[in-house]
Structure 1
């Protein structure tokens, strides 16, 4: 059985691209958009770090991407 990894995104195209890369490695990629507070800052890194802190106790294994 493959290990599930959650990709936090509402963008279907980003999800399909990631799925095509990750699934052949033996992982099952799951798309979720649980919603999380996005702080207002010019730093994408700060936005993602804040989102990770918010979601880390709510989800098991996940990743997120924010390119603005």
Structure 2
């Protein structure tokens, strides 16, 4: 059985490694950005919750508390 290192057999240039690392670390930062599409989606969610509460109001104190917690977390 031969022992060999895959990194040595398939070398990656340092520029490619830096690029991969930059993309890996920058991706979560881009996802945290609240753009206009995200804001519009949140407004639609709040409108849908209002319609749901008008059509099917919370039936008890626990359900009202759960919906209040949902609104606070968002």
Q: Report the structure number with the largest CA radius of gyration.
A: 2
Identify whether the pair has TM-score above 0.5, normalized to the shorter chain: no
The interval holding the TM-score normalised by the smaller chain is under 0.3
Higher relative contact order (CA 8 A, sep 6+): 1
| Structure with the higher strand share, 1 or 2 | 1
Question: Normalising by the residue count of structure 2, what TM-score does the alignment of the two structures yield?
Answer: 0.23
| Structure with the higher helix share, 1 or 2 | 2
Question: Normalising by the residue count of structure 1, what TM-score does the alignment of the two structures yield?
Answer: 0.25
